[in-house]
Structure 1
Amino acid sequence: MTTGPIGSVLVLTSRHDVTADVVLRILAERQVPVVRLDPGTDLHTGAALTATYRTGDQRGTLRTPTRELDLTEVRSVWTRRPSPYEGPPELGGQERRFAASQSLWGVGGVLASLPGAHYVNHPWNNRAAEYKPAQLAAAQRSGLSVPSTLITNDHEQAREFAAQHSGAVVYKPLWNTPYAIGGKAHQVWVREVRPHEITPAVAVCPHLFQAKVEKAFDVRLTAVGSRMFAVRIDSPDLDWRQRQSLMECSPIAVPARIARSVSAYLTTFRLVFGAFDFAVTPAGDWYFLECNPNGQWAWQPGPVTDSIGRAIADELQRASEHEPARAGKPPVTVQEDGDVPKPL
């Protein structure tokens, strides 16, 4: 067994996370020590976590089959895509549910409270930033344009909202809840709705209805600290995620006013990373749609993916939250106010 060097990066993700592999290769090139852990599964297959708390002292140890890591020496934590805490598979019923709950509140609490560690992002900040109503409120406060939106479980209010907009209204889920029909997984995509399609079934749960933005194209803006990477997305679909094989992506400049507002948004939720989606009108107006605080990014063009990976690696190399990220060439042009976005 080897001992993890001082200043290790702790990466919390599943073993099949290929996006994490992009950053891990960069850290390996830089000879930065990394410990990869999937706490939802690895603690059932040989890993062990211990934490002690005394007046004026906090210590902890993570042991895996190959190494031992002093948790007080973790320089940064990357909360990527760890598996959910589901408990040991050999248990069943309430015993497994009990073990899963204890792991969530115990292991999750330990790994979210490492002294001096820089989090990208902190898991509790991620969770707070995942609520779409909170996203819309933060976007407004940050100076971003937001489409007219209604969240309700009152079908009469929903019908009235849809009727008041001369253009189309779209429905989108408030959370990407797993959904299956006949045992087959289905994705609930953003789609247009008409007033007559809205039924009393809306009362079952809150629904999000939003005025459709007559857009020229979409933008995915990935922010890592103060660095921003944006791509223009041209797709035949209302929801470009539906058929990604048909979309085209190209780097695009970020207007300065949007960059300022994105920075303010990140500050609101205390985020280091955020994946922002915008709809851009023919006049060049950017409308905020949502921000995934832990969104995927490795699907973008190779140079953009590489730049994002290196920016995340820079953040993870920081010794503390007060140390600035390493200086580097800006990955994307930031336009002055008044400029219309154009592909680079």
Structure 2
Amino acid sequence: MSARSMGSVLVVTEADDLHGDALAATLRKHHALSPIRLDMRDFPRENGTFRVSRDGTSRSLSHILGLDAVSSVWWRRPHPTQVPGSMRSADDDYRQAECDGFLQGLLWSMPALWVNDPGADRTANRKLVQLETAYRAGFAVPETLITNDAGEARSFIESRPGPVVFKRTGTGRGAFTETRIVTPADIDLLPGIRNSPTIFQDYIHAECDLRIVWVDGIEWVVRIDSQAGVGRVDSRLDTSVAFTRDRLPASVSKSLSTLMGALGLAFGVLDLRVGRDGEVWFLEVNPQGQFAYLEIKTGLPIFESLANLLVLGDGTVTV
């Protein structure tokens, strides 16, 4: 991307999001710029307006200044609007839809650089879309079944030559749930997936795990010595093991570029697993993933890279 003229940066996230705080500090340090922060749950408690006139369009929110000066947006962790409840659920559903539609439209209509485009972000969050796209991009993908059919799940588990893990599809907000290996006790609980489609996937015996932060073509790669601690199945469970800077093999880097381009993402946090035979397996990409701890562990200038993308249109960092 070519350099952009400096304008305001809007960060759409939770009010107490530490990643939003860290980006704000980075923008102030490297670009002398304080971003605008927006927690969508503040609407409709605050007023909002969109107007079209002969002179063009304008938009405003009563608790935010300079919305029309925004030139880039980090679509970090958007929430639905927070509409007060009433006596009738039908009225609540209507008002919720109207408020969500208004605020989303107000924001999405802004002619800004989006990281990420909200439509692409929403689609890419679907694990089924990720797996299909990763497979077509040339990644090795573990044998996977995603279903709400207990019989299909049982057949899949019993047909696999080794252990099978299960995890949530990750398409909705909720408490953290770890990836776990299916045990005999879990088989009896399979009917419970009827109302909660679940991912079942071959367990890859690993040499290590890789977590990559993608910033518009720049790969910040961290090798996690996951097999040295309690996070052998799910590397997110143990941050006490070694985290080191790494690089991807050229073939994997090519697949990564193809994947992110096909998903339409300028930013994402990816989890890959390196098998004992050296094969690199795709697990998932999170357009809103956590990465601050990777910078703390390795010193990689990830926030600076993201800040440069939002301000300059280029995430390159001079190291």
Q: TM-score, normalised by structure 2?
A: 0.86
State the match for 1:52 in structure 2.
51
Question: Structure 1: 5+ residue runs without aligned partners?
Answer: 180-185, 319-323, 332-344
Measured in 1, the distance between the counterparts of 2:296 and 2:114 equals 26
Deviation at 1:178, TM superposition (A): 6.0
Measured in 2, the distance between the counterparts of 1:245 and 1:31 equals 33
Deviation at 1:121, TM superposition (A): 0.7
| Alignment pair present for 1:292 and 2:286 | yes
Structure 2: which amino acid aligns with 1:9?
V
Structure 1 residues 210 and 42: CA distance shift in structure 2, 3 A: same
Q: How does 1:217-256 map to 2 (within 5 A)?
A: 217-235=208-226, 236-237=230-231, 238-241=233-236, 243-256=237-250
Deviation at 1:327, TM superposition (A): 4.1
| Alignment pair present for 1:108 and 2:104 | yes
Deviation at 1:98, TM superposition (A): 3.7
Q: 1:191 aligns with which of 180, 191, 200?
A: 180
Deviation at 1:313, TM superposition (A): 0.4
Structure 1 residues 291 and 100: CA distance shift in structure 2, 3 A: same
Partner SS state of residue 66, structure 2: strand
Contact 2:9–2:311 (Cα < 8 Å) also in 1: yes
Deviation at 1:101, TM superposition (A): 2.2
Contact 2:295–2:301 (Cα < 8 Å) also in 1: no
Structure 1 residues 13 and 113: CA distance shift in structure 2, 3 A: same
| Partner deviation per Cα, 1:174-208 (whole Å, 9 max, x = no partner) | 126566xxxxxx64321111577434444344221
Q: How does 1:92-171 map to 2 (within 5 A)?
A: 94=89, 96-115=92-111, 117-171=112-166
Q: 1:210 aligns with which of 195, 201, 208?
A: 201
Contact 1:149–1:208 (Cα < 8 Å) also in 2: yes
Q: Which has the higher helix share?
A: 2
Deviation at 1:310, TM superposition (A): 0.7
Q: 2:59 aligns with which of 51, 58, 61?
A: 61
Aligned-residue CA RMSD (Å): 2.7
Q: TM-score, normalised by structure 1?
A: 0.80
Structure 1 residues 222 and 146: CA distance shift in structure 2, 3 A: same
| Partner deviation per Cα, 1:235-268 (whole Å, 9 max, x = no partner) | 3321122x33444322122212212111111111
| Partner deviation per Cα, 1:60-92 (whole Å, 9 max, x = no partner) | 232444x63252x32101111234322147x66
Measured in 2, the distance between the counterparts of 1:276 and 1:59 equals 37
Partner SS state of residue 293, structure 2: coil
Partner SS state of residue 163, structure 1: helix
Measured in 1, the distance between the counterparts of 2:246 and 2:129 equals 27
Contact 1:85–1:100 (Cα < 8 Å) also in 2: yes
Structure 1 residues 88 and 157: CA distance shift in structure 2, 3 A: closer
Contact 1:19–1:298 (Cα < 8 Å) also in 2: yes
Contact 1:86–1:96 (Cα < 8 Å) also in 2: no
Measured in 2, the distance between the counterparts of 1:305 and 1:17 equals 21
State the match for 1:174 in structure 2.
169
Structure 1: which amino acid aligns with 2:155?
E
Measured in 2, the distance between the counterparts of 1:306 and 1:92 equals 52
Structure 2: which amino acid aligns with 1:226?
G
State the match for 2:40 in structure 1.
39
Structure 1: which amino acid aligns with 2:311?
Q
Structure 1 residues 178 and 293: CA distance shift in structure 2, 3 A: closer
Measured in 1, the distance between the counterparts of 2:299 and 2:22 equals 9
Measured in 2, the distance between the counterparts of 1:326 and 1:291 equals 19
Question: Structure 2: 5+ residue runs without aligned partners?
Answer: none
Structure 1 residues 193 and 303: CA distance shift in structure 2, 3 A: closer
Contact 2:44–2:99 (Cα < 8 Å) also in 1: no
Measured in 2, the distance between the counterparts of 1:310 and 1:112 equals 25
Structure 2: which amino acid aligns with 1:253?
R
